[in-house]
Structure 1
């Protein structure tokens, strides 16, 4: 009997302490717990989810964005033709072990090479003759039957064609890829600006994903499930991708290069790297072909910057 009385007294003290602790916490920070007895039947919800996805697909392509997609395709064709023509006049070199490029007959001596598969850092580049793909990075994606189709499984990866990501974005936006595109050797820089601004507009309406680890691009609301992380970027195998929202620089990589001004030495030195400017490879190529560069690039290119101490001697 004494044991029962002692036990009940301890329980009353414990309950009183618990209640006092609860009321000592301000009302705004109290957590209200709820218990739900009903269970969600996912099998019944699946048809509703699929129907909602199908209804969402009916809203695409957006009619107002079709002209923008057509303009991007034309700008892409003009850009490739213009860069191809300029490369016949101006030399370009590319690093043998990393993606860096330089516009000129000889590469620079700036130690920014990280080696094959990033096994090193701060090395001198080993320069070889470059080409069109070194200037305009070929970003590819799976070609989908429609934007809101089911996610591509790993075993289905060979059932879908790989196409340029910009072309896939424009096709899903309603552009006619069979349309005869105008060709020119003129307006390369304008085509570059039109291409990037057009892609920026399309990405505000049409979703795209990029892998955080290997920069694989997928045009659609959710990334594919193929275990190909790093395969198309010549990096180590990591399995499944880690998808994030893609931006313009993932779909149209700018490929930054060091820019040489007339007062600099013919071969840029590592000691004076703080005095050198940068520019997208296409912008620097067009500027060397006497194109007028907009003012928004002048700060990046250090047009009015001070020369290095070696060049002042």
Structure 2
């Protein structure tokens, strides 16, 4: 009788365990867990968006075309004109960014954000976790983080790019680095795609440029229009005429205490901004350094010699430019996902393999009451049962 009861209890326990996915099984072929991008070493280069062989093939074709004296017909935006069907998308992305900044700033006042003063890791919610992942020069021997109060700038970091008056003009040189203004890269992408901002003028062509034997011929520059207002436009030093104000974000018609309303609108704005920027990047080129976080919106990178990454001496301090991705333009700062904020359970190092992760913006808005989309369900590990500290040794 006793053995029968024990056997039935074991079968029920095993059946309950089979309903849950064990973290070790999440990496199998039938798993729904998506592994995060591996953190690159200082000597490693970012993955190529386009394969090296394909880039070499395109370079050979371009060299062959330069030898033939004939006109090469280009389509927008390579010929300097705007892609008309993407102009509304650029305005949507610009408006979504302003709305997202307003929502994140308001939600960050209610939900605490912590940042490690040594390694820069971010945690959303109170109390901050005790996972020992601080492994930088000057960190403690226990690898515990030194938490300090953070803000919206840690959740949504600012990635800047040089503003180009003419996106088809020459690249910004090292001597011009202090003359040309730097603005958020996603704003520069929207400006080049059709958004007109008074503080950041840009050249809008009415006639396309032509490429003949590898050389660009711009008829508007050779035969300019009779317009005296063009002579007054400055191509650098835009910040001198810009009024610095904290009211750049779009105001929302929501009660100040409606945190969940801000979170829901912020989540929609986050998805709209990333999806719209991805569509723009398919037409408008964005470059990033293969070893550091520098980004330049435009068909080619700048020539500023400020790269201090791996083997920068061999490049004379210049960046190793390659095609950028949406994560380079809008970097998602991944943080540990807190399942139940009301529970107040402390996240410990011994159970870190059972915890999921989310982008810091998504985690902040989720804790404020916003719904997390299905595209993040594979990162959250909601289907994994987190054992107690006294139950970990029994997990197979």
Q: Normalised by the shorter chain, which TM-score bucket?
A: 0.7 to 0.9
Task: Tell me, yes or no, if the aligned pair for 1:189 and 1:291 is still in contact at 8 Å.
Answer: yes
Q: Is the 8 A contact 1:275 1:306 kept in 2?
A: yes
Contact 1:112 1:121 in 2 (8 A): no
> What is the CA RMSD across the aligned residues, in angstroms?
3.3
Residue 62 of structure 1: CA displacement? 1.2
State the distance in 1 between where 2:162 and 2:140 align. 32
Match of 2:291 among 213, 224, 228: 213
| Residue 89 in structure 1 maps to residue 157 in structure 2 | no
Report 1:38-117 matches (<5 A).
58-115=79-136
1:211-264 CA distance string (max 9 Å, x none): 111110000111111101149xxx997611011100000000111000122398
Q: Residue 352 of structure 2 aligns with which residue?
A: 273
* Secondary structure of residue in 2 paired with 1:169: helix
Is residue 2:384 matched to residue 1:305?
yes
Contact 2:158/2:184 (8 A) holds in 1: yes
Indicate yes or no: 2:342 matched with 1:255.
no
Correspondence for 1:243 among 321, 331, 340: 321
2:251 equivalent in structure 1: 183
1:168 matches 2:168: no
In structure 1, distance between residues paired with 2:127 and 2:311: 31
Question: Which residue does the alignment assign to 1:287?
Answer: 366
Q: Specify the alignment match of 1:192 in structure 2.
A: 270
Distance 1:275 1:261 in 2: 11
Match of 1:135 in 2: 155
Q: Distance in 2 between matches of 1:135 and 1:163?
A: 19
8 Å Cα contact 2:102/2:250 also seen in 1: no
1:268 Cα deviation after fit: 1.0
Query: Using the alignment, how far apart are the partners of 2:379 and 2:109 within structure 1?
Result: 26
Matched residues in 1 for 2:176 and 2:80: separation? Answer: 27
Count how many residue pairs are aligned between Structure 1 and Structure 2. 265
SS of corresponding position for 2:189:
helix
CA contact (8 A) 2:102 2:249 kept: no
Question: Which has the larger displacement, 149-158 or 120-129?
Answer: 120-129
Post-superposition Cα deviations, 1:170-196, rounded to whole Å, max 9, x if no partner, equal 000111235997432630000000010
- Partners of 1:122 and 1:228 lie apart in 2 by 34
| CA 299–136 in structure 1, closer or farther in 2 if over 3 Å, else same | same
244 and 308 in structure 1: CA distance in 2 versus 1, 3 angstrom threshold? farther
Per-residue CA distance 1:65-93 (angstroms, 9 max, x = gap) = 11000000000001000001101111110
Counterpart of 2:375? Answer: 296
Structure 1 position 198, deviation (Å):
0.7
Q: Would you say the 8 A contact 1:112–1:122 is kept in 2? A: no
Paired with 1:197 and 1:121, the residues of 2 have a C-alpha distance of 42
Q: Any gaps of 5 or more consecutive residues in structure 1?
A: 1-44
Indicate the structure whose relative CO is greater, using CA pairs within 8 Å and at least 6 residues apart.
Answer: 2
- CA drift of 1:157 comes to 1.3
For 1:211 and 1:177, how far apart are their aligned partners in 2? 27
> What per-residue deviation string (whole Å, max 9, x for no partner) do you get for residues 38-76 of structure 1?
xxxxxxx79x89x999x9754432111110000000000
1:145 aligns with 2:173: no
Describe the shift of the 1:52–1:152 C-alpha distance in structure 2 as closer, same or farther (beyond 3 A).
Answer: farther
Unpaired runs of at least 5, structure 2: 1-65, 200-247, 255-261
Distance, in Å, in 1 between the alignment partners of 2:141 and 2:334 is 18
Q: Deviations over 1:114-160 (max 9, x none)?
A: 325x9999822111000111010100000011111112221121221
Cα distance change on mapping 1:230 and 1:114 into 2, 3 Å: farther
Q: Which residue of structure 2 lines up, in the alignment, with residue 6 of structure 1?
A: none
